[in-house]
Structure 1
Amino acid sequence: MARWIYVIGGLLVTVAFSVFLFYSVRAFNLTPDRPSASYKAPDYRFVLVTEEVDNDYWRLVEKGARAAAEKHHVSLQYTGPKQANLDEHMKMIEMAAASKVDGIIAQGLNQEVSPTIINRVLEKGIPFLTIDTDAPESKRVAYVGTDNYYAGFLAGQALLKDTEGEVKVGIITGRFDSANQKLRVEGFKDAIKGSDRVNVVAIAESQITRIQAAEKTYEMIKDYPDVNAFYGTSALDAIGIVQVLESIGMTDRVYVIGFDVLPETLQLLKEGKLEATVEQKPYEMGYDAVELMIQVLEGDKVSTYHHTMTDVMRQKDLTQTETMTPGGMKQQ
């Protein structure tokens, strides 16, 4: 009896996994099961795989990608792990490839793993564009996004310009294994290395969440009570940093520079609780990536690097006539 229970149990597990795999792949097939008479098939089917599906930054990338997709009659599937997870991210890329979409847009999150996965997709005849985070060791067609080293360098230059005297910096970075985060740290360090008054005292990982950013900030202040500046390299880091500084009454004594122009980030900038933030263009990244993929599929020659604009924003750059657009700040 026990043997039969074991056999039946094994069969149920196998069937359950097969059903899961079927529907996972089917999720990328965006053609309706029973299209109406007025239905017109999209010209192409693309998949955008993100680092964390509900992250505010990635939702801006999605908005840009969807705008371009609608303009060009392209079907776009937006997906990604609920929480940053490299293994899940890679599996979603492989599922997209298994569904035989026309193009895949995703980050090159890990320089050891990503090139293998990307090259495997290309071997299936599916063009692959990296977005936000490049994988230059792979055979990807092109990269769309920030020059992350330069962005980090700008952050370092901004800190040097905005501060005086001895500065001890704590860095809160999204992920230690993420290529774009590494480059932002590297660029920052290179910008300040010529100064004998600015030093990095510690680096901690936030897992691209504000909760972890806050926890690591608090721990860093306990371990290094003389830290008087923070640099956050991912979108939610500065928000978490300021949250802690507010709770212990240190916002007026600590310099903070972050990344991105999320509404909450801009509010902190307006209130003077954040000194500066590196402005990226996530909306443009998504929009440009879709347009670039169409060019690739239509046989056009494209450049390997398509860098979107990067700049440093301070409180003085905010005015009452400025409004938030999906891609950043623009004058009315």
Structure 2
Amino acid sequence: MSKLSIMAYTVGILFFLVSCSFSIFYVYKVVSHELPKEEKTLEKFNYHIVLVTEELDNEYWRIVEKGAKAAAEKYGVQLEYAGPKQANIDDQVKTIEMSAASKVDGIITQGLSDEQFTPLINRVVAKGIPVITADTDTSNSKRMAYIGTDNYYSGFLAGKALIADTMGNANVAIITGSFYANHMQQRVKGFQDAVKAQKRIHIIAVEESEISRVKAAEKANQILQEHPEVNAFFGTSALDGIEIAQVVEKYKKQDQIYIIGFDTLPETLSLIRKGTIKATVVQEPFQIGYGAVKMMIDLIEGKKVSPIVHTDTRILRIRDLPVNHPDRMGEHE
């Protein structure tokens, strides 16, 4: 055998051995590492539902998500939590459109604006995908159901609380999360209607925080600079009351200015214990998330659901807080 033949033969044997080694390694990888991943992908869910929120990292919506996930786990549903990182109605609309394009079984979202959300929801429902609005309704759309706070009533409750808790002239400033969002408009309107017959109560300013801590603080500071006569605030979103309170504490006016906020985030409850925030409107975000998923399952399965489900709403003051209790509320089913 020639030297050239021997070299070719040797190279062939080496190539065969290397190929065998890679084959054995690949089989090992598949058997010992990849199969668990395949089993996970084969995990069965009854339905695929998307919860689209106005702002992913908003503390209030994280509680809604927690409730939705609890229901999803109980009923074997795949739940996705999606939306813009910061409040942006256009990005939220795009997220809903993408969810519909992926042919999910149902979409839960807020109906923030009649102008943009009514035609959007109608298009999604026309594709055979049921839509439930949560927290904020778009009643003129073809959404299948709404679950959440009666937002007009919640604002009305806040106005009645201010009447009950104050004496003498009350010069009120309102900081609202959004001028365009239906639920914020309704909260402001409810508050205004509650106090309009009271000659001692005057609404001095209504400003927008854009669901932003920084903006809420800026607006509170601006109001106190431009309207030193203001001695009461109403914050219509979860973050507004907290930031109003921080600014009021900075001016050391917590004993002179009445603040009523919204929701029961830990910071809000802490500020109530300190006496800076005098009252807050209590919603049930966990209940909203849990109930929305349960309603969606019923809809998908052809069961009848109530078109409007209002979750509990009430006013909470320091006297309503349990002694030595962690500052966490609204997370129970």
TM-score (norm 1): 0.87
- For residue 35 of structure 1, report the CA deviation from its aligned partner: 3.3
Report the AA paired with residue 97 of structure 1: A
Q: Distance in 1 between matches of 2:36 and 2:83?
A: 24
Partner of 1:277: 280
Give the SS at the match of 2:183. helix
Distance 2:93 2:165 in 1: 40
SS of residue matched to 2:230: coil
Tell me the SS of whatever aligns to 2:114: coil
Q: Which of 230, 240, 250 is the equivalent residue of 2:253?
A: 250
8 Å CA contact 2:176–2:235 kept in 1: the answer is yes
Judged with a 3 Å threshold, the aligned counterparts in structure 2 of structure 1 residues 101 and 329 are, in CA distance, closer, same or farther, namely: closer
Q: Which digits, 9 at most, give the CA deviation of each residue in 1:65-91, with x for residues without a partner? A: 000000000000001101100100000
User: 1:96–1:181: structure 2 CA closer, same or farther, 3 Å change rule?
Assistant: same
Query: Which residue does the alignment assign to 1:147?
Result: 150
Matched position secondary structure for 1:126: coil
Distance 1:323 1:218 in 2: 30
1:118 paired residue number: 121
Question: Unaligned regions of 5+ residues in structure 2, if any?
Answer: 1-34
Q: Provide the residue aligned with 1:199 in structure 2.
A: 202
Q: Which residue of structure 1 lines up, in the alignment, with residue 264 of structure 2?
A: 261
Q: Quick one: distance in 2 between partners of 1:63 and 1:151?
A: 23
Once the two structures are superposed, the pairs formed by residues 90-109 of structure 1 within 5 Å of their partners are 90-109=93-112
Letter in 2 for 1:204: E
Cα deviation for residue 39 of structure 1 reads: 3.7
**Corresponding residue for residue 303 of structure 2:** 300
Question: Structure 2 residue aligned with 1:53, among 37, 52, 56?
Answer: 56
Deviations 1:76-134 (CA, angstroms, capped at 9, x unpaired) = 00011011001000000000000000000000011111001000100110000000000
Instruction: Give the length in aligned residue pairs.
Output: 299
Matches of 1:315 and 1:37, distance apart in 2: 48
Aligned AA for 2:233?
F
Distance in 2 (alpha carbons) for counterparts of 1:33 and 1:160: 61
Q: Write the mapping of 1:218-237 to structure 2, written as runs, cut at 5 A.
A: 218-237=221-240
Residue in structure 1 matched with residue 168 of structure 2 by the alignment? 165
Question: What is the aligned partner in structure 1 of residue 4 from structure 2?
Answer: none
1:28-47 alignment to 2 at 5 Å? 35-36=38-39, 39-47=42-50
Pair 1:287-2:290 in alignment: yes
Counterpart code for 1:210: R
In 2 relative to 1, CA 250–34 (structure 1 residues): closer, same or farther, beyond 3 Å? same
Deviation sequence 1:182-203 (CA, Å, 0-9, x none)? 0000000000011100011100
Q: CA deviation at 1:53?
A: 0.2
Which residue in the other structure is 1:7 paired with?
none
Question: Any idea what SS the aligned residue of 2:224 has?
Answer: helix
User: Residue 317 of structure 2 aligns with which residue?
Assistant: 314
| Residues 67 and 287, structure 2, Cα contact 8 Å, conserved in 1 | yes
Provide the secondary structure at the position in 1 that maps to 2:172: strand
Any idea what SS the aligned residue of 2:238 has? coil
> Hey, what's the Cα distance between the residues in 2 that align with 1:325 and 1:88?
31
1:214 aligns with 2:217: yes
Question: Per-residue deviation at 1:155?
Answer: 0.1
Aligned-pair identity (%): 53
How far apart, in 2, do the equivalents of 1:189 and 1:320 lie? Answer: 34
Alignment-mate amino acid for residue 134 of structure 1: D
- Residues 99, 107 of structure 2: 8 Å contact kept: yes
**Structure 1: runs of 5 or more not aligned:** 1-31
By how many angstroms is 1:154 displaced? 0.2
Alignment correspondent of 1:177: 180
**Which residue identity does 2:313 align to in structure 1?**
T
For residue 35 of structure 1, give the secondary structure of its aligned residue in structure 2. Answer: helix
Query: 1:131-161 deviations in whole A, cap 9, x for unaligned?
Result: 0000001000000100000000000000000
Letter paired with 1:118: I
Is the contact made by 2:175 and 2:240 (CA closer than 8 Å) also made in structure 1? yes
Mapped to 2, the partners of 1:326 and 1:174 lie a distance apart of 21
Change over 3 Å in CA distance of 1:168–1:94 after alignment to 2: same
Which stretches of structure 1, 4 residues or more, deviate above 6 A after TM superposition?
A: none
Residue pair 2:175, 2:208 contacting (<8 A) in 1 also:
yes
Indicate the structure (1 or 2) with the bigger Cα radius of gyration: 2
Deviation at 1:223, TM superposition (A): 1.2
Could you tell me how far 1:248 is from its partner in structure 2? 1.0
Distance between the aligned counterparts of 2:332 and 2:266, measured in 1?
A: 10
Give CA deviations for 1:8-54 in whole Å, capped at 9, x if unaligned. Answer: xxxxxxxxxxxxxxxxxxxxxxxx99631894310000000001000
Structure 2 residue matching 1:253: 3-state secondary structure: coil
User: Is residue 64–residue 326 contact of structure 1 (8 Å, CA) maintained in 2?
Assistant: no
Q: Does the 8 Å contact 2:208/2:216 carry over to 1?
A: yes
Normalized per residue, the structure richer in helix is 2
